[in-house]
Amino acid sequence: MAGKYVPLSSLKPGNVARVRELTMGGNLRRRMLDLGLIRGTRIEVINRSPFGDPVAYSFRGALIALRSEEASGIIVEV
C-alpha cells in the first residue's frame, strides 16, 4: 500500500499516513492549516466513534475528531 494516495476518511484505526494535500476550501481549510495539518505531517487514526463518525486522529501532539466529510478533503500518502 506504500505510496498510495487516498482520502484520510478511508483509513482504519491504527493506520499511519502522511498528508499529501488539502482539497477543501474556506474556513475548514484555514482551520486545518492553523492546526498544523500541512503537507508531510504524520497523522495516525486513533479510534472511530461507535457509529463510525466522527473519527479521532493524532498529529503534532494534538488529538482531534473529524467527521468523514471533513476527513475526505484530506489526501494522504499511505
How many angstroms separate the Cα of 11 from the Cα of each of 24, 30, 55, 74? 18, 23, 10, 11
User: What pTM did the predictor assign?
Assistant: 0.89
pLDDT for 2: 57
Cell of 9: 476518511
pLDDT for 51: 87
| pLDDT band at residue 52 under the 50/70/90 scheme | confident
Mean pLDDT across 52-69: 94
The answer on pLDDT for 42 being more than 70 is yes
Domains and CATH numbers, the chain: 5-77 (2.30.30.90)
11-39 pLDDT, tens digit per residue, is: 999 999 999 999 999 999 999 999 999 99
Tell me the C-alpha distance between 31 and 49, whole Å.
Answer: 22
DSSP state at residue 9: G
Q: What length does the chain have?
A: 78
